[in-house]
Amino acid sequence: MNPPPLLLLLITTTTLLFLTLLPPSAPDLAADRSALLALRSAVGGRSLLWNLTEPTPCNWVGVHCSSGRVTELRLPGMGLSGRLPPATVGNLTALQTLSLRFNVLSGPLPSDISAASDLRNLYLQGNLFSGVIPDFLFSLHNLVRLNLASNNFSGPISTLFNNLTRLGTLYLEHNSLTGSIPDLNLPGLVQFNVSFNQLTGPIPSKLTGEPRSAFTGNSLCGGPLQSCNGSSSGKKLSGGAIAGIVIGSVVALLLIVACLVFICRKRGGKKEGPKDVAIGKQAELSIPVIHLHFAYDISCNLCHQSGDASIS
Ligand SMILES: *[C@@H]1O[C@H](CO)[C@@H](O)[C@H](O)[C@H]1NC(C)=O
Ligand SMILES: *[C@@H]1O[C@H](CO)[C@@H](O)[C@H](O)[C@H]1NC(C)=O
Ligand SMILES: *[C@@H]1O[C@H](CO)[C@@H](O)[C@H](O)[C@H]1NC(C)=O
Ligand SMILES: *[C@@H]1O[C@H](CO)[C@@H](O)[C@H](O)[C@H]1NC(C)=O
Ligand SMILES: *[C@@H]1O[C@H](CO)[C@@H](O)[C@H](O)[C@H]1NC(C)=O
Ligand SMILES: *[C@@H]1O[C@H](CO)[C@@H](O)[C@H](O)[C@H]1NC(C)=O
């Protein structure tokens, strides 16, 4: 009965040893490496010239490691194209910075990106990503900088952005976002841009201090833009302006006609004498008479124009 317990002890200690010695950093970095290779074959087989015989990915272009994990992946303007599949960036669970800006990536974002819960900086601007801004982004509570500008994102700006309490940069310009801007309550927000979307309605009070250029290219009102009431009373004003323009141009036309009549009467007076003076007198009597003589005035002017150099 003595050997079995000793054997059991041996087995348990060796298995404990394996369990404590094998799992640390090495397998995680191997998992990161395999995720990077999956990404490479999905979106950038030719453009990512990584030396695959190197056992560690930490020296690959765009890859930065810290404490035995891949913590930064920066591949800007590398001609990456196609969709970002699951089990690529989503498997890089220690990632803090992901920059895939200015590539040709399209389709929706992979939902497992939410597994990279340490993500602080997410730069995806200048691609062709589409669909709504997915809700799983709002579980990335450590996000500080989020740039989704110049993509093809559509749908509304979710109130769930308020979940990203550390957000300092939110760039959403040049997409196809619709609806109104929600009441964002993000005290750390210092960089904000939603210009050139299809947003409508009033700018919420917390964002009224942002510059105009952060909102242009939408149908927004209030804040740095024209006040929402101003735009509605602006419509009334523009109606009044139209009436003013109409009345003004009628008056101007009548004045021109009167001048023409006056000029023609003087000219006619010189050449034809009493007959034209009589017409001129009639013209002074009433406006309808001036109208009747308008055609005559023009022909009168035209016939004189050819012979007379002093027409002004
Ligand atoms: C991604 O992670 C999952 C779950 O850990 C794993 O099953 C899968 O093999 C990984 N994929 C890659 C390409 O590393
Ligand atoms: C790739 O890495 C291996 C192992 O580190 C090295 O021997 C080889 O020279 C490298 N190849 C290139 C092209 O850098
Ligand atoms: C947003 O925050 C609320 C409250 O903290 C939480 O219930 C919800 O699950 C969060 N949503 C996401 C997508 O993380
Ligand atoms: C952008 O999305 C719209 C639908 O939302 C689609 O019709 C259009 O083709 C997309 N454009 C690009 C360049 O992907
Ligand atoms: C917002 O984005 C537009 C378009 O890129 C740019 O012209 C404008 O300067 C930006 N404004 C701010 C405040 O970032
Ligand atoms: C807009 O007009 C309404 C009603 O006239 C008024 O209650 C509101 O305070 C006005 N808002 C602004 C921003 O001027």
- Structure confidence by residue, pLDDT tens digits, 91-146: 999 999 999 999 999 999 999 999 999 999 999 999 999 999 999 999 999 999 99
| DSSP H or E stretch at residue 233 | helix 228-271
In short, whether 249's Cβ falls inside 6 Å of ligand 6 is no
Which neighbouring-strand residues pair with 146?
Answer: 122, 170
The CATH number fitting domain 22-231, selected from 3.30.465.10, 3.50.50.60, 3.90.1150.10, 3.80.10.10 = 3.80.10.10
The pLDDT, as a whole number, for residue 285 is: 46
The minimum-distance atom of ligand 2 relative to the CA of 51 is 1
The minimum-distance atom of ligand 6 relative to the CA of 229 is 1
Regions of the chain short of the pLDDT cut 50 = 1, 16, 21-26, 231-236, 271-312
Inter-CA distances, 41 with 50, 85, 243, Å: 11, 10, 66
The pLDDT, as a whole number, for residue 268 is: 60
Ligand nearest to the CA of 207: 5
The minimum-distance atom of ligand 1 relative to the CA of 88 is 13
Q: Could you tell me where in the chain the CATH 3.80.10.10 domains are found?
A: 22-231
Q: Which residues contact 290 (CB under 8 A, 6 or more apart)?
A: 254, 257, 258, 261, 283
Check if the beta carbon of residue 149 is closer than 8 Å to that of residue 169. Answer: no
Pocket test for ligand 1, best of 91, 95, 111, 114 (most atoms within 8 A of CB): 91
